[in-house]
Amino acid sequence: MFIERMSSWTKGTWFHGVKFVQDTKNKGKIAFGIMAALLLVSGTAAGGYVYQSNVNTLYHISLDGKEIGSIENPDAVRKWLGDRLAAEKKKYPDLALGFNKEISITEKQHYNGKGTRQEDVLNKLASAVQVEANAAQLVVDGQVIAYARDQKTINQTLTSLKASYNEKKATQNLTAGAGNVSPEQAKQMESDLSEVSIKENIQIREGKILPEQVLKEPQLMNRMKKGVTIVSKHETVETLAIPYRVNVKPDPTKYRGDDKTIVQGKNGSKQVVYELVKENGKLVQKNAVHQKILQQPVTKVMIRGTKVKPSRGDGQFRMPSAGILSSPFGKRWGRIHAGIDLATPIGTPVHTSDHGRVTFVGIKRGYGKCMIVDHGNGYQSLYGHLDGFVAKKGDIVAKGEVIAKSGNTGRSTGPHLHFEIHKDGEPINPMLFLR
């Protein structure tokens, strides 16, 4: 405004000067020109001085291109930024740090310009600006699971993790920490880990993150153990038995259960090479890749009876055991002797006298160890003073089958077999039936 007024005044003065010259018919023309020039120069100089005295410099502060304020002295902002970065650098000396916003300071001149309060600008910086670290992202199947200082740290930690599951060589020196692995060791480890791989798709990308979220090697290793599956493969050799086969030859002349071994079977042996597939140390597959026969098995050959044992006797009884008749059926010592006694050594085989089913195995008063066979036709046979049993209760036994061993149990005067035959519950003389 001041300059505009001075310009108007100058123009007016010039007009009146010209008019004066015209009126005086060019008298004093030179004097007036000098006077007008002096007035014009002095007016312009005065206006410029006043303008310059009202111009000031402001520094505009912007975050990512958006202005947050303007201040007269940028040193406070520069100091705040420097102090903030230095404090984080002291805590994280190994990380490359920067700010999460692009910060710009632009110098501009203003006529009677008025800036923002410095305190307000610093508060806006404090709420919007954070220190972040340049880091490497570990991406597993498209998902970020960890941040590390750099790609080298992630690769070395992955190598150490794989080595911990490698069963080819001892790896105790490889798991002490990724930072202790030399380039030579890493190269050797890679050659040793040809059968160790990672199941998931692994990517390493550049990223930015808060410094406190960048993991050191031990924490990175623990995070990998939870998010990465290590697949290890190695071979093992096992010696296994080859079970022998059984060749059964039926014999219709022998009763069922009367099996006889002609050739004793024997297991063979073989060595089998297995590929073991493990995930994080747990076995998930066991595949046979090769085998070698060490010894062929020997086939067992058996004769097996197919004849069905009749549970009903034919009424034709046979002598139950070898021996000498020592006491007949009939009266003895003032009472009835209900059977016959065959003197025979302890342990002599006792045969069932006719087909039937074993109905009693145990101890009877006076008889000691005793067995009774029901022949299914009204006849029963009893075998007393036994030393042991071969058949058991419920067994179907054929005529002549060994069912017990003779002995000297119960009320007995010496080793012998006591034998009775009953018809419809009444004892009868066995000698009338024995053939």
State the number of CA atoms in the 13 A half-sphere of 370 facing the CB.
18
Report the CATH number of the 238-306 domain: 2.20.230.10
Q: What is the pLDDT of the chain when averaged over all its residues?
A: 85
Q: Encode 362-423 in three state secondary structure.
A: EEECCCEEEEEEECCCCEEEEEEEEEEECCCCCCEECCCCEEEEEECCCCCCCCEEEEEEEE
pLDDT at residue 346 tops 60: yes
- Span 232-241, pLDDT tens digits: 998 899 999 9
pLDDT at 195: 84
- How far apart CA 140 and CA 146 sit, in angstroms, is 9
Nearest one of 112, 196, 202, 125 to 161, comparing CA atoms? 196
* Residue 234: half-sphere exposure toward Cβ, Cα within 13 Å: 15
- Evaluate if residue 34 carries a pLDDT over 90: no
- Give, as one character, the DSSP assignment of residue 25: T
For residue 406 the two structure tokens come to 């003779």
pLDDT of 168 reads 60
How many Cα atoms sit within 13 Å of 380 on the Cβ side?
15
What tokens appear for 134 in the block? 């340049």
- Residue 242: band (very low, low, confident or very high) from pLDDT cuts 50, 70, 90: very high
What confidence score (pLDDT) does residue 254 get? 85
Higher per-residue pLDDT: 34 or 329: 329
pLDDT value, residue 112: 86
User: What is the pLDDT at residue 161?
Assistant: 94
Q: Where are the alpha helices (DSSP H) in 203-340?
A: 217-227
Query: Which numeric CATH code is attached to 324-432?
Result: 2.70.70.10
